Amino acid sequence: MRDYEGRDGIMQFGGMSVTDIAEEFGTPVYVTDEARLRENYRSIYGEFSKYMDTKIHYACKANTNLAILRILEQEGSGIDAVSIGEVMSCLKAGFTPDRIMYTGVNVSNEELKAVSDLGVMINVDSASELERLAKINSDLPISFRITPGVGSGHSDKVITGAKGSKFGIPEKDIIKTYLRAKELGFDIKGIHAHIGSGGLVSEPFTDVMEVLIRTTNELKDNGIDLEFIDMGGGIGVPYRPNELEMDVGELAMSLTDMVLEETDVKTLILEPGRYIICDTTVLLTKCIDVKDAGVKKYVGVDAGFNTLVRPAMYDSYHHVAIGNKFGKACTAKYDVVGPICESGDYLAHDRALPDPEEGDIVVVYNTGAYGFSMSSNYNSRPLCREVLVNGGKAELIRDSELIEEQWRHQRIPERLIG
């Protein structure tokens, strides 16, 4: 887990105090450190590219803020997109179509046409999708997502590569689906698999690479030569204090050795999302209420699972600290809970904290991945602000929503008025 420094008892983030950021922009607010974002991208690209030609395709579902996308475009990243909305957001941020790969699941014909019209490579998920795409446009490069039978993830809800998964071409159909694509006239470029999200050990990644290599060589034996192997994403980051992080350098050496020694493929693609964006961002939320319920103590804050759903949805752990009492001794354990009318609305359980008071700034760590991107208007609460900090300066990169904006697409029939 990333460490932060304190100054006069105030947590510092991106060269600024969290209290100053909260005072300027209000709470709740997501705050991203630009320098850390660039550092994370350069780190994973550097570890893999020193061994072989590597392309990093940022899994933008983790966070699609246009400013963040623009920074990664400047760094030279490619994009892993899973919807037409993500594709168009990345184009808006400056990515060219050739730097985007679209990997959808249960994709409609309308979306297939929209993506193909934009000139973006499609990573085909099923035999049905292949046949439907052929009727729309077969004169384009494609890849295939396979089901590798290898799964990994921090929750059952994010494991994507296991047998029976809804994602990808089942093993028994892989070769015949590639041969059918060749028969239909597609320009076949590569193979892809994704095992899941948040893995912190190397074995599932080497296991899936063995499957990808074996399949690549079987395809070669059937007259289909691939240009790239895309091993997907899923490299996790430590969320808990003292949790060991993945040795990405060792993983890079192992995986690239496997590809170079066992195949003729010269290009490797990775799709990290969480690894790049997660620890760049914190959520700042204000203590509104402190309650002693006898058997449990609560810190009530102005961010709920409408703002950060991961703890409620996945039972995910996010470290929390009181930003204006940074480094002070903890006195008791508290649940950190939000304003949503649900008993499942919590950000953290049983956390040791210094005496909380109304007005304190509670800092939730590691919220860059699937924080804002999974937020909602539940309880008719507006979406919050996003801020970018760099070199001690803060800039607004998304304004908070007005309550009235939630009604912009709603209509009351005339017969109900008056």
Six-digit token string for 362: 């509670």
Q: Which residues are catalytic?
A: 341
- The distance between the two most distant Cα atoms of the chain, rounded to a whole number of Å, is 76
3-state helix, strand, coil in the chain (%, to 5): 35, 25, 40
**Phi, psi at residue 169, to the nearest 5°?**
-85, 120
Asked if residue 305 lies in contact with residue 344, where contact means CB atoms within 8 angstroms, the answer is: yes
Asked if residue 374 lies in contact with residue 306, where contact means CB atoms within 8 angstroms, the answer is: no
DSSP notation for 269-323: EE--SHHHHGGGEEEEEEEEEEEE-SS-EEEEES--TTT--HHHHH-----EEEG
Judged on CB neighbours under 10 Å (0-12, 13-18, 19+), 272 is buried
What 3-state class would DSSP assign to 8? coil
Q: What b-and-e string marks burial along 139-166, b requiring 16 or more CB atoms within 10 Å of the CB?
A: ebbbbbbbbbbbbbbbeeebbbbbeebe
Distance of CA 343 to the CA centre of its chain: 27
User: Half-sphere exposure (CA, 13 Å, Cβ side) for 253?
Assistant: 3
Q: Which of 132, 122, 129, 78 is nearest to 102 (CA)?
A: 122
